[in-house]
Amino acid sequence: MSWFDDLKTPRIKTQVSQRASKVPEGLWVKCLQCGEILQSKVLKDNLQVCGECGYHFRLVAADRIAQLTDDGSFEEYADEWVSTDPLEFGDIKPYKDRLRSAANSTGLRDAFVAGKATLGGLPYHLGVFEFKFMGGSMGGVVGEKVTRLLECALADRLPAVVVSASGGARMQEGIFSLMQMAKTSALVNQLRAEGVPFISVLTDPTTGGVAASFAMLGDLIFAEPHALIGFAGPRVIEQTIRQSLPQGFQRSEFLLKHGFVDRIVARKDLASELRHWMLALGRQTCQFPKEI
């Protein structure tokens, strides 16, 4: 429409500019899959799922917790833990500055929130990744929080659920980050030995060291529709092997077809599915209230 802009008088241009500036930002969102223009409020009420094509936008940790817990039941623990800079790592920006910036933008101390809650009256331990905090990367604090959650689930003999959204191990912590893969996986094995259920929920994206450790070790592994799941990203793999990958490679539907995940669960159904399977898996081994 540049030809039309050229025909506008200065007065018309000013009026159009003033009118456009009065429209509040953030009222509309474009679907990344179908291109539909969605009203932000309607999208939020629909759990950030496109009503036209079912595309699942990424969900922040606070909204995820609200969806998967009874009102007021979530009791966070280990929330005071803060990552340090053991390697004094710096690239174009010091690691300490990245941590400070991520904390300011998200209101969180790190990329994982853990706590005890109830879902339909059923008590359990829930951990949720926040992808907006440095890509949900797993450093020492995140790994320790995941470990604490699994330890608490084991001590209470209650199910553990972790909702992953992560780019993998946090490179700024080097080997300290990679050690979390072994530590968290060891705790999953302890839960399995004691018969305490661990359900892993994979969302977009779940990659790197998180995918290569506890996230793929659940007694049940759920995935949201069309979530990117894998160790290395498809572009990296294609560049490495110099071959084209199959259609839908590393998406949850592809992984379900090849036996890497157990179920694909739409976001609106996730709470009811989790409660059903936590109860089914833990009825004989967990310490649920008698009235459950």
State the DSSP string of 208-269: HHHHTTGGG--SEEEE-TT-BEESS-HHHHHHHHTSPPPTTTTBHHHHHHTTS-SEE--HHH
CATH number at residue 71: 3.90.226.10
Domain range for 101 is 58-282
Reply yes or no on whether the pLDDT at 7 is more than 90: no
Least Cα distance to 162 among 221, 103, 231 occurs for 221
For residues 12 and 264, the model is more confident at: 264
On whether residue 37 sits in a domain, the answer given is: no
Distance, CA of 281 to CA of 271 (rounded, Å):
15
**How confident is the model at residue 90, as a pLDDT?**
87
Report how far apart, in Å, the C-alpha atoms of 210 and of each of 70, 217, 242, 284 are: 27, 10, 26, 29
On whether residue 155 sits in a domain, the answer given is: yes
Reply yes or no on whether the pLDDT at 19 is more than 70: no
On whether residue 18 sits in a domain, the answer given is: no
pTM: 0.90
On whether residue 38 sits in a domain, the answer given is: no
On whether residue 211 sits in a domain, the answer given is: yes
On whether residue 262 sits in a domain, the answer given is: yes
**How confident is the model at residue 22, as a pLDDT?**
53
Reply yes or no on whether the pLDDT at 280 is more than 70: yes
How many domains does the structure of the chain reveal?
1
On whether residue 22 sits in a domain, the answer given is: no
On whether residue 8 sits in a domain, the answer given is: no
pLDDT tens for 210-269 read 999 999 999 999 999 999 999 998 888 999 999 999 999 999 999 999 999 999 999 999
Reply yes or no on whether the pLDDT at 81 is more than 50: yes
**How confident is the model at residue 291, as a pLDDT?**
87
Query: CB-based contacts of 183: which residues, under 8 Å, 6+ apart?
Result: 143, 144, 147
Average per-residue pLDDT in the chain?
92
